Amino acid sequence: MRRPVVRNLAVLAVLAAVVSVGAAAPPAAQTGSAGKNPAKVPVAVGYGGAVASVDTDASAAGIEVLKKGGNAVDAAVATAAALGVTEPYSAGIGGGGYFVYYDAKSRTVQTIDGRETAPLTADSNLFVENGKALAFADAVSSGLSVGTPGTPATWATALDKWGSEKLGTVLKPAERIARDGFTVDDTFRAQTASNETRFRYFPDTAELFLPDGRLPVVGSTFKNPDLARTYEELGKEGVGAVYRGDLGKDVLKTVNNPPVDVGSGWNARPGDLTAKDLAAYRAKIQAPTRTSYRGLGVYSIAPSSSGGTTVGEALNILEKTDLSKASEVQYLHHFIEASRISFADRGRWVGDPAFEDVPTKELLSQRYADSRACLIKDDAVLTSPVTPGDPRDPAACATGGTAAPTTYEGENTTHLTVADKWGNVVSYTLTIEQTGGSGITVPGRGFLLNNELTDFSFTPASPAVHDPNLPGPGKRPRSSISPTIVLDKNNKPVVALGSPGGATIITTVLQTLTEFLDRDLPLVDAIAAPRASQRNAAQTEVEPGLYDSDVRTQLEAIGHSFKLNPEIGAATGVQRLPNGKWLAAAETVRRGGGSAMVVSPAS
């Protein structure tokens, strides 16, 4: 079904208001000042560059850097650092992520794998205790779940390679927000409430995020002076403070002896990170994945993330189906089935390529996609779990092999998208894994540690088939993060986007791309469209807009089965328009709505 006319009219009204009034950043003195935050606007059009994120203060931090002459990479790091203040349960220097960069001068795309790594002492039994896999909840809020943080190294690598400003300069807006405070909104309070029980296990976390022992009040000012000092230290000393200095020592002490409230009774199992782990960490510059779709080049992140290969394979499967002319039912049917098949292959083949023989090129070949696309029928639904194919030896419509279930990934990541006046673009997704990460705050430092190692399979997904996502020494757990940049035939940007959402990231990016490229929805409408997420499971998760629609009934008549998911993802994107204009777009409703800004609004 097309989006309801009333929604499209509402978005157009917002767009008209943005164009006439403008969505530029507030003056620097207001950025991060409690009670003075500009209203969130989901779409902005103008010149000089654009930023889209989930948060107004964070988008404004990026715009501030662009206004002062910084480029897209500088602004992306500034925005990410600000998100570490205002979205601390989603991202921060205790986590990692994946950075995709388009260089306008060379018209090329490059990427950084800033994924966290397991300790060098880890083996496949990292989450096995007394011969059995740990319960997920027991693993999450523990030192065992914490990987070596990759975000600081990602920032330093991006700035050194492509930036024009120093780290200390681009951290200043975030440092100011942390010191002066930001205004608590409904989303921040709700996320704190959902973590309240486990936050109380850790006194430093409770002291920071439960001021005076209570949930933060909507409309109040939330300050994080410890994080302000941490950013100041990073700005002066560089990220060596994490990987070779006192900040890193504090991280190690916290991971290996989690500061738990003994009265809580919580067994916060210790980790085993060492100074050698920190010193050995590198953010990896690597080639992107690339696939051709409708004559466009689609670039994303290669393994250790499965995002680029899985989105790319699904697009290749859909390549020979004219989605622009399909009914809404047939569009969603093919989208769901392509997702189901590509997730079957993801589970079997994708892991950290430093440890696993990942057939990236073959997974992205049109020949392989065609051998999988023939499984899709217009009037029938595949039965999950679909078995994987063999990308190195494609056999048409093959159904052999052993299926592997999709492992759980936390959904509370965050994504930002940036463009500058020179035409450079960044699509960057960063995370501490699930909402609140491990729940463990580094004492005196103001940030939470990740629980990324729980993205590993705790035990083999299938006893009959090698699992590429088991833990190993220094290994990166598989991710679903899918920051994407689409280029035209002249290698100029068309659109860049990404989303949080754990394993639903892949389906969110795939659906948004096809809604925009095939269904011709405006970018903000493609982001706002009700979502479906099929990950090789018996049921497809759908948001209320689809669950409560006639389309659901028609899809069920074909054989689909659905379950309700209140909210899937929270995407942002930028689109290149003619004559040097940029359009920034973010969520209209999800996570309280996102924030799109441009340097100079169009008049």
Strands (E), 421-561: 425-431, 484-487, 493-498, 532-533, 540-542
523 in Cβ contact with 514 (< 8 Å): no
- Give me the pLDDT at residue 465, please: 81
Q: Which residues of the chain have pLDDT under 50?
A: 1-35
Give the architecture-level CATH label for domain 5-26+49-285+415-531+543-601.
4-Layer Sandwich (3.60)
**β-pair partners for 114:** 97
- Give me the pLDDT at residue 409, please: 63
Q: Which of 306, 323, 267, 307 is closest to 129 using CA atoms?
A: 267
Residue with tokens 């490229």: 517
Q: Which of 515, 518, 507, 573 is closest to 543 using CA atoms?
A: 507
99 in Cβ contact with 114 (< 8 Å): yes
3-state DSSP helix/strand/coil percent for the chain, to nearest 5? 40, 15, 45
- Catalytic site includes residue 413: yes
What b-and-e string marks burial along 21-31, b requiring 16 or more CB atoms within 10 Å of the CB? ebbbbbebeeb
Query: pLDDT tens, 535-558?
Result: 999 999 999 999 999 999 999 999
- Give me the pLDDT at residue 39, please: 82
Query: pLDDT tens, 449-493?
Result: 999 999 999 998 777 788 999 999 999 999 999 999 999 999 999
Q: Which DSSP category does 380 fall into?
A: B
- Give me the pLDDT at residue 462, please: 74
Residue 1 burial (C-beta neighbours within 10 Å; 0-12, 13-18, 19+): middle
Residue with tokens 């409904």: 186
Given 56, 157, 187, 413, the catalytic residue: 413
Q: Where are the domains of the chain?
A: 5-26+49-285+415-531+543-601
